[in-house]
């Protein structure tokens, strides 16, 4: 039953629409004045939060697929990755517009001057490479093996994202949320290491 539903073309559309709900909520919040006294800060923070959340959801696909033996899930992975990129793009845009007033030299200076901005910027740039190669023709062009290798970069991106969040919060020693995301990403990456080791053991005759 579930498998059949997951195979339907409408499932993809449903997922994308669902994933854009937070964005729609934030946009409507601007016009309905629902974002509190500092909407600019709220939008920068929320788009960052949603980037982290979709990064976690994207990285959850493979463990779920393997554990529940649901190969159907694989077709959603690239969509989720692109949605993660969409949110990081919004995050960067909010920062550039609200915090920096779109002054490019100021932005460049900020990236050069502040490690936590540089780390976030690096993560976003790397993610854009993955987003730019997230269509079928790109896989064909690169070859499946090279494509998969390239897209393993997402693990590094996850570490950059957590480091960015940690540094941002370090001055105020407010690490609760950082620890939650770090814990989730730790489990998701740790599972991969464990799973790879298991496969290697099994392949040894």
Q: Residue 103 — φ and ψ, nearest 5°?
A: -90, 105
Among 97, 87, 168, 165, smallest CA distance to 128 is for 87
* Of 174, 179, 197, 199, the one binding another protein by CB under 8 A: 174
* Of 110, 118, 122, 142, the one binding another protein by CB under 8 A: 110
| Residue 167 to residue 165: CA distance in whole angstroms | 6
| Residue 119 to residue 163: CA distance in whole angstroms | 7
Residue 19: how many other CB atoms lie within 10 Å: 21
Q: Is 126 within 8 Å of 160 (Cβ atoms)?
A: yes
* Stretch binding another protein (CB under 8 A), from 62-70, 128-136, 153-161, 172-180: 172-180
* Of 98, 155, 166, 191, the one binding another protein by CB under 8 A: 98
| Residue 66 to residue 192: CA distance in whole angstroms | 10
Q: Closest approach of Cβ 183 to another protein, in Å?
A: 18
Q: Closest approach of Cβ 94 to another protein, in Å?
A: 10
Q: Closest approach of Cβ 201 to another protein, in Å?
A: 42
168 binds another protein (CB under 8 A): yes
* Of 21, 68, 171, 204, the one binding another protein by CB under 8 A: 171
114 binds another protein (CB under 8 A): yes
38 binds another protein (CB under 8 A): yes
Residues in the interface with another protein (CB under 8 A) total 23
Binding positions for another protein, 116-155, rule CB under 8 A? 116
Q: Closest approach of Cβ 46 to another protein, in Å?
A: 13
40 binds another protein (CB under 8 A): yes
* CB nearer another protein, residue 171 or residue 205: 171
Question: Three-state SS for 198?
Answer: helix
Residues that bind another protein (CB under 8 A): 30, 36-41, 43, 97-99, 101, 110, 113-114, 116, 167-168, 170-174
């Amino acid at each position: 039953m579930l498998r059949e539903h997951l195979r339907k073309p409408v499932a993809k559309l449903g997922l994308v629409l669902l994933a854009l709900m937070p964005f729609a909520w934030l946009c409507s919040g601007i016009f309905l004045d629902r974002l509190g006294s500092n909407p600019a800060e709220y939008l920068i923070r929320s788009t960052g939060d949603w980037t982290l959340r979709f990064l976690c959801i994207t990285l959850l696909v493979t463990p779920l697929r393997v554990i529940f033996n649901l190969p159907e899930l694989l077709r959603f992975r690239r969509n989720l990755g692109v949605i993660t990129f969409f949110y990081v793009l919004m995050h960067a845009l909010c920062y550039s517009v609200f915090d920096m007033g779109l002054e490019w030299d100021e932005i460049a200076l900020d990236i050069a001057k502040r490690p936590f901005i540089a780390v976030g910027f690096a993560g976003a740039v790397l993610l854009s490479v993955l987003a730019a190669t997230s269509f079928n023709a790109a896989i064909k062009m690169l070859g499946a093996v090279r494509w998969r290798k390239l897209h393993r970069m997402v693990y590094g991106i996850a570490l950059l994202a957590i480091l960015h969040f940690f540094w941002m919060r370090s001055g105020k020693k407010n690490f609760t949320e950082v620890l939650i995301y770090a814990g989730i990403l730790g489990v998701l990456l740790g599972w991969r290491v464990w799973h790879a080791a298991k496969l290697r053991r099994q392949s040894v005759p």
